[in-house]
Amino acid sequence: MRHQKAHRKLGRTTEHRLSMLRNLATSLINARDERLVTTLPKAKELRPFVERVITLSKRAHALTGDEAAARGVHLRRQAAVFFHAGNRQQSPSTGRRSAPRAERTAGVAAVKRLFEELGERYKDRPGGYTRIIKLGRRVGDNAELAIIELVDNANERGAAAKSEKRGKTKAAGKASTRASKSGEAAGGRRGGRKADKTFEKEETTRARGKGKTPEPKDADKAGKGGRRSKKTESTAAEKDTD
């Protein structure tokens, strides 16, 4: 029989274990990068604890009708049970009535962020708001470490935006390369090489005076020009004189 097998005890009493989970949930939600490094058993116990309260905030964003405000306050009070209570009943720090009160605790800030940001982010997601990544063993006590983080966090969205931008740049580069190749095939000036040097017709080049002169038909009889041809002609003239 599975008596007392509902969750991991973590070697703590009930009060100590709940207080620890509340602290871990507060640290995870208030973290700038929305991730937390802890041991693997603690991360596995923290996952359902945090996902329940995120579901409450998601329900609050889905409320409609006349009773939406009252039901939203009820859901917010239910979520506050998962965190340490704030200091609403705390007396002023200086003991005076007109003196300002101390700053609110981190638990109140976590509830505020839950209902203002995370509920809106996960309103279309049917569960699975966290991710656990194993890190291996710790050097000191050989405990197995893990990272627990919220999905769709800022780092993840930034990496997705960078990859999308990189994909668009590659697509634009391929399109320009394809256009340059088509321009070269058509003989246009946008092909990457000058069209008048590479793809110009021979008649046009000769008309500009920069092409090759056509060779005579009787190439064996005609001289190729230069000093040797002139010397050959003068020698032949002397023989005829003799």
pLDDT digits (tens, 9 = 90+) for 210-226: 666 666 555 555 555 55
Say if residue 74 is in the same domain as residue 185.
no
> How many other β-carbons are positioned within 10 Å of the β-carbon of residue 149?
19
**Do 39 and 133 have their domain in common?**
yes
81: helix, strand or coil = coil
pLDDT of residue 58 exceeding 50: yes
Q: How many domains does the chain have?
A: 2
Say whether 149 sits in a helix, a strand or coil: strand
Task: Say if CB 114 and CB 29 are below 8 A apart.
Answer: yes
What SS3 class is residue 165? helix
Do 173 and 108 share a structural domain? no
Residue 146 sits in the same domain as residue 160 = no
Mean pLDDT of 69-81: 92
pLDDT tens for 101-159 read 666 688 888 999 999 999 999 988 998 999 999 999 999 899 999 999 999 888 888 88
Distance of alpha carbon 3 from the chain centroid: 46
> Based on the domain organization, do 54 and 170 belong to the same domain?
no
Q: Which domain holds residue 37?
A: 14-87+104-151
Q: Are residues 51 and 157 in the same domain?
A: no
Same domain? For 139 and 20 the reply is: yes
